[in-house]
Structure 1
Amino acid sequence: MREALPEAELLVVGVTSPLRVGVYVEGRLADSFESEEKTSKALPPILHDLRYKYDLKALYYAKGPGSFMAIKVVYVMLKTFAIALDIPLLATDAFAFNGNRPIKAVGRSCFVKKGGEVLIEKECDTPDGRFELPERLDTVTFTEASEPLYVLPAV
């Protein structure tokens, strides 16, 4: 008889490098992974290994703003995983993981959050690109509206 796996929830913050993945057991950070590799290369083996180490109950992720390609890759992989495992995929904006600081965009521009709205500022100091996994997973900040938050400058 196979031993029961511990129940867990995953949080993926993949809007910029490094990719960060947190495993939460009973709402507390129990394990974490970080990779400087491209998201498309780093995330599949992490998800594979965690699938067989934990009984996954929900997936959470930072839906943007940030790297367009990284966000897209994270969303597609997590959405596929959520459908295959029949578990929810929930999302929040990336500002929840960087202390609401500006997030680098293209060139000298950055994404900022003002009055609940995400905007692009043309000239800003180089933003501090650190994103942190919280010690406790506050699921209240996440919603079922999990589609990526693409904030693109006008062409």
Structure 2
Amino acid sequence: MPRVSPEAELLVVGVTSPILVGLYRDGELAERFESRQKSSKALPPILHDLRYRYDLKALYYARGPGSFMAIKVTYVLLKTFAIALDIPLFAADAFAFNSGRPIKAVGRSCFVERGGEIVVEKGCDAPEGGFTLPPRLDRTLFTQESEPLYILPAV
């Protein structure tokens, strides 16, 4: 008799280091992974492992703002996974996972959210990381608009 894998959903916060991955069962955080490696090194083995242990029903991720390359790699990997597994990919902005605090941009600038708009503020010392995985997956934070949120500050 074939083994039946439990159903789960996956949340990736990969906008900066460390990368956070949460596996949710029945909406509750069941497993947590953290890596300081680059997205391209950290995510493939985690996704591979979870794909074979669980029946993934949906993918969620923080679409930005943050590191351009980290967001890009995370999106490409998750979008490919979503297409291959024929499951939906949902996204939310990264401020949902750091209590709305500034997010590091280039140099001494950071991304901030003001009045529903994301802007780049100069002379800001945003803390590295500071993101958390919620203990319960709030699906209302996410939309099907899953394209990355690239906000590139002027250099």
Equivalent residue, structure 2, for 1:133: 133
Deviation at 1:127, TM superposition (A): 2.9
Q: Map 1:23-102; keep pairs closer than 5 Å.
A: 23-102=23-102
Q: Within 2, Cα distance between the matches of 1:70 and 1:42?
A: 11
RMSD of aligned alpha carbons: 0.9
Preserved contact between residue 101 and residue 128 of structure 1 (Cα < 8 Å)? no
Whole-angstrom CA distance in 1 between matches of 2:123 and 2:32: 34
Distance 2:151 2:122 in 1: 13
Taking the aligned partners of 1:153 and 1:124, their CA distance within structure 2 comes to 13
Q: Distance in 2 between matches of 1:126 and 1:61?
A: 21
Q: Structure 1 length normalisation: TM-score?
A: 0.97
Q: Is the contact between residue 102 and residue 128 of structure 1 (CA under 8 Å) also seen in structure 2?
A: no
In structure 1, the residue matched to 2:104 is 104
- Quote the offset at 1:69 in angstroms: 0.3
The 10-residue stretch of structure 1 (6-15 or 114-123) with the greater mean CA deviation from structure 2:
114-123
Q: Which runs of 5+ in 1 are unaligned?
A: none
Write the distance in 2 (CA, Å) between the matches of 1:51 and 1:13.
18
- In 1: Cα distance, 2:116 partner to 2:26 partner: 29
Amino acid at match of 1:58: A
1:127 match: secondary structure = coil
Structure 1: 4+ residue segments shifted above 3 A: none
The alignment of Structure 1 onto Structure 2 pairs a total of residues equal to 155
SS of residue paired to 1:60: strand
Please give the TM-score of this superposition, normalised by the length of structure 2: 0.97
Describe the SS at the equivalent of 1:57: strand
Where do 5+ consecutive residues of structure 2 fail to align? Answer: none
